[in-house]
Amino acid sequence: MKVTIKSWTGVATWRWIANDDNCGICRMPFDSCCPDCKLPGDECPLVWGACSHCFHIHCIVKWLHSQPQQQCPMCRQDWKFNNK
Amino acid sequence: MASSRDELKIYWNKIYYAFPILNDMLFTDCSDEEYQEIQEIIIGLGIQIKIRDLVLVHIEKYLRQHVAPSFWAKFIKVEEEVKGFQLFKSAVNDLYESLKNFSPILNKLNTLNNCCGDNKPIFGERDVLMGFKQLLRATLLSQLPLDFPVIINHFYKISFNVFDNEYENSEMPDDIMCSGCWNESIDCNCAYIVKIFHDTNRKLVELQLLERLTGQVLTNFIQLRIESHIQKVCAGTFDVSHIGFLENWLDTTVMSWLTRIYCAGSSKPQPDNHIVLNAISKFKQKLSYFLYHSYTKLRIDQLFNIVIDYPDSQAAVDDIKLCLDKTDLRSTLCKKLQNALETRLLHPGVNTTDILTAYISTIRALRHLDPSGVILETVTKPVRSYLRNREDTVRSVVSSLTEEGAGSELAEELVKFAVDNDNENDKEEDWDEWEPDPVDADPKVNSCDRKASDIISMLVNVYGSKELFVNEYRTLLADRLLGQSVINTEKEIRYLELLKLRFGESQLHFCEVMLRDVSDSKRLNALIQQDRNFESLNSKFSSNAMILSAQFWPPFKDESLELPEEIKQHFEAYTKCYETLKGNRTLSWKPHLGNVNIEIEIGTKKLDLIVSPFNATLIMHFQNKPEWSLEELHQVMKVPITILRRKITYWQSLGIITEKTTDNYALVDGSEASKPSGSRNQVQDMICEDEETESVMASAHDQREGELQVFWSYIVGMLTNLDSLPLERIHQMLKMFASQAPGTECSLQELRQFLDTKVRTHQLILQAGMYKLPKT
């Protein structure tokens, strides 16, 4: 007997490689989207700060806009985007 | 003294001569002149009042002893209708004749009475003749025998047949049997019967006995006829309105027959005869009410079938609608239909889809019958509570909602809703057409809600929440998306849009993401296939992937499966490509999901199959080594033995693998494989088919259990702080604190069930309606 595979369709789920499950600002899972977004993933990406904390980009931008000083909401260090 | 005594004797004889009734006789030779003389004597003696009363007493006695018994003697129980007809005829004739004999006496008495001048009423009537008739009626009726209606019934039955025949079958006179009198046409008796009939009725009218004697019998008889006529006309057909024909029939045949009875043969009553007119119109009212009543009753008995046939049975429903206004059968209707639904529909032998179909047509039919929706609400209450207890209701509803093609009424309904939705605004302007709710309406329910809710929301309301429906739809969608190799995303998106209109955007947001995942995956696949690293791998076979956003899909069943090495390589390469494409993101594979297109060559036979990854892996192992024990398979595939044993049947049913000894499986070589054993095969087929259609999603029940578990920490917190709480309080507080994510909406009933399971496992204590944490 000979078995030939013609095509294989697998199923996978994607997830962010991050050191936490939930966004520290909106408390939603990273793999979901921030409360303002409808679609997860590309449309609601994560950003990492220099302090290694990460958030939904929309959440952190909103946070930074509302603050006089640009600090990470988790560790109070100055916020810098870490473009790795 | 003696002479005066003799004189008195002579006078007395003369009075006897004038009024022979005093000797119980009716005949006398006494002429009018002679009587004048005698009357003068009576008046001369001043005893006119006494004589009058005496004569009346004797008349009464005579009637009682002779006339009435001989009349009633004819009223015996006979079987043959013709005999009954004759008996009644002769009874009435004899009575009429014998009363004729009274007329000389009555005339004399009348003159005598006129001389009395005391204005004393005679048996309650003003003049002698009327008084006599009154007396006659009283006497007759006082001796009424038990079986008197029998021959009256025969009499009217025969005559009605003749009339009915005249009206209905006038166009076919050449029948061998006359259907009026059931004689052969040559010696048809109809004319004779009609003559006798009119004659008898005229006599009865004259005696004012018609109403008294035959009223009840006539009514009963006509009611019977109406009933049988309705039965005859309306049996089994629901697509024609009958009420018009029936009214017409009542007007022509029945009423004209009645008129003839009352008017002694003429078909039109004299316009000035108010008594007759009155009697006839009263009769008509009574009979048309009865007609409506029995028609409605018949229809109510058939209502279940009518409802199921709706909208083909619209005519019948229209009839019922009309009749319900004229009769008081509303509550009977509700009760009967409810019973019919319960006995014919709500038992384990009926498929859920059939119940749903019936429920939908019930909704439609009753909507039409009673736009206020009250009947519908009452009748379908048991259906709703029954559906609530069926596990697959939601699934059936959702799948029929999204089903394509004819026969899926719900799908049509969904599309219709989308169209209707736009013209809903002008409702407020109909205020002048407002009608109050019927009396049997539940005052707690807003009548607008009752009217506005359409079929889909009625179905959704079976559960009281949209959540369950949306969740079920999500699971179904997930199954469909993962199960099909070719996905018709456009169709799914169209349905999703329709559902959104109905259930709201936010509820179906998850499904939207799911559909987008599918289309994104397609794009991503195309992109990754072009990748150079991947190309070399792909030379053997193409591998694709569905990349899902786990947060938005229903939870998957957890199953382990160790894939063959080459597939794993593919997946790893795929993951790498993905990671480079999308920074900071990675994939976790669900090895047991997806589908595989394989080709199997056995000898000369080639099989092209689409199978699950599990089955593909299994057969690939057999390719390398023709014999495996379950234990070995378990080692390489990391699948529990029980599942292995169950799933390997798929290949057994195809005749490719066979169980050599217990738990030892071997490949069947080419020659044997071509002739799988018949009966065994079918059984296996069934098993594996079952398996293949099994949902990959965790069952709704398991999901729900998991969701409720979320509440547990809240509940524990509450009870620690507040010691003990009743169910309602817990429910309220949960509503306040924990109600964001979909699926966390929790009904009181569900909560109770959940808490009860906790009580059972001794995690809670229920005391006097209050829940408490056990003291540790």
Asked if pLDDT for residue B512 goes beyond 60, the answer is yes
Q: Cβ of A10 and B575 within 8 Å?
A: no
pLDDT band at B686 (very low <50, low <70, confident <90, very high): very low
What's the pLDDT at B271? 66
What are the structural domain ranges in chain A?
A: 16-83
**B359 or B686, higher pLDDT:** B359
- Say if B272 is an interface residue toward chain A (CB within 8 Å): no
What's the pLDDT at B114? 77
Asked if pLDDT for residue B247 goes beyond 50, the answer is yes
B436 half-sphere exposure, CB direction, 13 A CA radius: 4
Distance from CA of A37 to the nearest CA of B (A): 11
pLDDT band at B403 (very low <50, low <70, confident <90, very high): low
Q: Cβ of B513 and A16 within 8 Å?
A: no
Question: At A54, is the secondary structure helix, strand, or coil?
Answer: strand
B94 half-sphere exposure, CB direction, 13 A CA radius: 16
Spatial distance between the Cα atoms of B177 and B167, rounded to a whole number of angstroms: 16
Question: At B608, is the secondary structure helix, strand, or coil?
Answer: strand
Q: What is the ipTM of this complex?
A: 0.90
Asked if pLDDT for residue B320 goes beyond 50, the answer is yes
Render pLDDT for A4-17 as a digit per residue (tens, 0 to 9): 888 888 888 888 88
CB-CB neighbors (< 8 A) of B575 in chain A: 12
Q: Helix B630-637 and helix B613-624: axis angle, to 10°?
A: 120
| Degrees to nearest 5, angle at CA A37 with A34 and A39 | 105
What's the pLDDT at B691? 45
Which helix H or strand E contains B446, and what residues bound it? none
Q: Cβ of A14 and B582 within 8 Å?
A: yes
Check if the beta carbon of residue B509 is closer than 8 Å to that of residue B473: no
Best residue in B507, B510, B584, B617 to probe A by mutation, most A CBs within 10 Å?
Answer: B584
Q: Does this model's pTM top 0.90? A: no
CA B178 remoteness from chain centre: 42
- Say if B587 is an interface residue toward chain A (CB within 8 Å): yes
Check if the beta carbon of residue B653 is closer than 8 Å to that of residue B681: yes
The pLDDT of B97-103, averaged and rounded, is 80
Residues of A at the B interface (Cβ-Cβ below 8 Å)? 1-18, 29, 31-32, 38-42, 46, 48
What's the pLDDT at B689? 43
Q: Cβ of B545 and A12 within 8 Å?
A: yes
What's the pLDDT at B34? 78
CA dihedral A25, A28, A29, A32 (to 10 degrees): -120
Highest mean pLDDT among A55-69, B363-377, B741-755: A55-69
- Over chain B, what is the mean pLDDT? 77
Asked if pLDDT for residue B383 goes beyond 50, the answer is yes
Q: Which range is least confidently modeled, A23-27, B218-222, B426-430, B617-621?
A: B426-430
pLDDT band at B417 (very low <50, low <70, confident <90, very high): low
Best residue in B551, B597, B667 to probe A by mutation, most A CBs within 10 Å?
Answer: B551
Asked if pLDDT for residue B331 goes beyond 70, the answer is yes
What's the pLDDT at B176? 52
DSSP assignment letter at A37: -
Please give the structure tokens belonging to residue B510: 């998850």
Question: Could you say which of B594, B599, B620 has the minimum Cβ distance to residue A11?
Answer: B594
pLDDT band at B449 (very low <50, low <70, confident <90, very high): low
**B740 or B358, higher pLDDT:** B358
What's the pLDDT at B165? 67
CB-CB neighbors (< 8 A) of B544 in chain A: 7-10
Q: Cβ of A10 and B591 within 8 Å?
A: yes
Residue of B242, B389, B381 whose CA lies nearest to B319: B242
CB-CB neighbors (< 8 A) of A11 in chain B: 482, 545-546, 548, 589-590, 593-594
Q: Which range is least confidently modeled, A24-38, B114-128, B623-637, B651-665?
A: B114-128
CB-CB neighbors (< 8 A) of A16 in chain B: 584-585
Residue of B344, B347, B389, B388 whose CA lies nearest to B362: B344
What's the pLDDT at B679? 41
Highest mean pLDDT among A51-60, B308-317, B387-396, B684-693: A51-60
Residue with tokens 């999703």: B496
The pLDDT of B619-627, averaged and rounded, is 85
Asked if pLDDT for residue B109 goes beyond 70, the answer is yes
pLDDT band at B193 (very low <50, low <70, confident <90, very high): confident
Please give the structure tokens belonging to residue B205: 């009218």
CATH architecture of A16-83: 2-Layer Sandwich (3.30)
Distance from CA of A11 to the nearest CA of B (A): 5
CB-CB neighbors (< 8 A) of A15 in chain B: 550, 585-588
Q: How far is CA B594 from CA B585, B589, B609, B610, B653, in A?
A: 21, 10, 14, 10, 22
Spatial distance between the Cα atoms of A54 and B638, rounded to a whole number of angstroms: 36
Residue of B20, B5, B14 whose CA lies nearest to B39: B14
Q: Among residues of chain B, what percentage have pLDDT more than 70?
A: 81
Please give the structure tokens belonging to residue B107: 């005339």
Q: Which range is least confidently modeled, A1-15, B104-118, B629-643?
A: B104-118
What's the pLDDT at B451? 60
What's the pLDDT at B687? 43
The pLDDT of B42-60, averaged and rounded, is 80
- Say if B178 is an interface residue toward chain A (CB within 8 Å): no
Q: Among residues of chain B, what percentage have pLDDT more than 90?
A: 0
CB-CB neighbors (< 8 A) of B520 in chain A: 41
Question: At A22, is the secondary structure helix, strand, or coil?
Answer: strand
Task: Pinpoint the alpha helices (H) of B462-564.
Answer: 466-483, 489-503, 509-529, 532-538
CA B48 remoteness from chain centre: 74
Residue with tokens 């509940």: B715
**B592 or B118, higher pLDDT:** B592
Highest mean pLDDT among B55-59, B125-129, B233-237: B55-59
What single string gives the DSSP state of each residue in B205-231? HHTT-HHHHHHHHHHHHHHHHHHHHHH
Question: Could you say which of B543, B626, B656 has the minimum Cβ distance to residue A8?
Answer: B543
